A = this chain, B = another copy of it.
């Protein structure tokens, strides 16, 4: 398909606010945009707490499963070991959690929240509430449930 050189240079329909044309029908593109919007809002919400999505997820999971090993954590959050390491290191540097050598398996590190981590997680869960309210701002309860179910089909 050949474009006629300079026919309508600089965005054909100048009225629209943000037309993205053909690509607009691509599902993966909208997942990316929605994720980007969520990430931006999350980051804003968590500037004070100075935590990322991944870090909150890790704190949350370690709290739910005290003594969990890094590999187990990585599988549940779909990360590889190296990435998990980096995140755990950062959280440990802030004294939010600690590594204990596992008694049963000398290779494993058992992860536990420190009191500071517990406290931070509580604050984080509160902030998550705000953030979730924003994500759901245009949804009914039924739509949230539906969206949850659809998204799960993608990543399961």
Listed in ascending order, the chain A residues whose CB lies under 8 Å from chain B are 3, 6, 9-12, 18-23, 25-40, 42, 53, 57, 60-61, 64-69, 72, 75-78, 102, 104, 110, 128, 131-132, 135-136, 138-139, 143-144, 146-148, 150-155
Contact = CB atoms under 8 A, between A and B. Distances in A.
A26 to B, nearest CB: 6
Q: Is the interface of A mostly helix, strand, loop or mixed?
A: helix
Given A22-B60, A32-B53, A155-B33, A147 B150 contact: yes
6 contacts: A6-B67, A20-B64, A27-B136, A37-B78, A38-B154, A138-B154
B30 A75 contact: no
A31 B144 CA distance: 12
A70 B122 CA distance: 42
A110 B26 contact: no
A78 to B, nearest CB: 6
Contacts of A36: 78, 155
Contacts of A27: 132, 135-136, 144, 147-148, 151
Given A9-B66, A65-B11, A37 B132 contact: no
A38 B42 contact: no
Most buried by B among A32, A64, A154: A154
